[in-house]
Homo-oligomer: A and B are copies of this chain.
């Protein structure tokens, strides 16, 4: 096998170049994967545009991309459960396995996690990556690599539903019908929610939400989302309210749309850190507000949901670019991102 591979490297904001770099080799507990499909995430676009997300700063050239699937082409000597030829989805964050969060099942909160495409760790806009055996999951023959790559964003929706403890018969609202909103609403349906309200300001996204199982949609440009959700629920509010738009007003609305004793899950991060929240109402309604950060223990379940057609992730993929055109893909995403739901890089 050749010792080099093609990769898309971000040098500085707006500057991505396709270059040859050394091909990685798997350690004893790792597999080498020929990447086949990688999604473009909002965080990739963020790094592309501004070179940083919060305290994570691109200080040296980096390969972006962390939503990926591919084929195992080599395995380390300690690997038992995977072999050459296996088709796999890659969980991109590998924790230390030793700290308190890791020991207690919340490894997404590990401070020492190594996460693909989070500076200074390289990601998957390239031909080959390595991944530890236990963070690499077989996908069944009836799943495409693109669907495999979509397991990553779907994991956010699954984790949101786990944190929200969605149960059969629940009424939920998903504020925001972007990629994360659309996987969250589908996950909520798969968890048995019988009322799934989607709210967004974009009528095309709402049409897709409807197609993917929303029982009701609310165009927040035309109607007051809080009033409309209350109207739809007979004045009670929903059992669980998900914020996936990453916006200040929708985050504030979660307090208003949830029923007394209900659960709020804040999934999206707004551009502003600190902003006004109706604490009084949150307390008097005795709500639970739960943040979510990435996900843990979601891959096998998310794969099963897609394999069984309980969740449709294909419908979210609206544009495709080959690896050689990652610069164009990121430029497109940065400039006209809202025109697409999910952009996929095919490698």
Contacts and interface: CB of A to CB of B under 8 A. Distances in A.
Interface centre among A134, A273, A279 (most CB of B within 10 A): A279
Contacts of A276: 274-277
A270 B280 contact: yes
Given A168-B301, A287-B291, A293-B286, A98 B101 contact: no
A289 interface: yes
A99 B100 CA distance: 17
B194 A103 contact: no
A167 B191 contact: yes
Contacts of A98: 97, 133-134
Interface in A255-275: 260-261, 266-267, 269-270, 272-275
Contacts of A302: 169
A340 interface: no
Interface stretch (A3-11, A63-71, A104-112, A317-325): A104-112
Interface string A68-110: 0000000000000000000000000000011111111111110
Contacts of A282: 266, 289, 291
Interface in A281-301: 281-293, 296-297, 300-301
Given A106-B286, A108-B286, A277-B275, A168 B191 contact: yes
A345 B198 CA distance: 41
A194 B109 contact: no
A284 B22 CA distance: 34
A114 to B, nearest CB: 15
Contact of A101 (B260, B266, B287): B260
A187 interface: yes
A104 B101 contact: no
A192 interface: yes
Interface stretch (A115-123, A222-230, A304-312): A304-312
Interface in A130-179: 133-134, 158, 161-163, 167-170
Pairs A-B, 5 closest by C-beta atoms: A169-B301, A105-B105, A283-B291, A273-B280, A194-B304
16 contacts: A97-B97, A97-B98, A98-B133, A168-B190, A194-B307, A195-B304, A266-B283, A269-B284, A275-B277, A283-B292, A285-B291, A287-B290, A287-B291, A288-B289, A288-B290, A288-B291
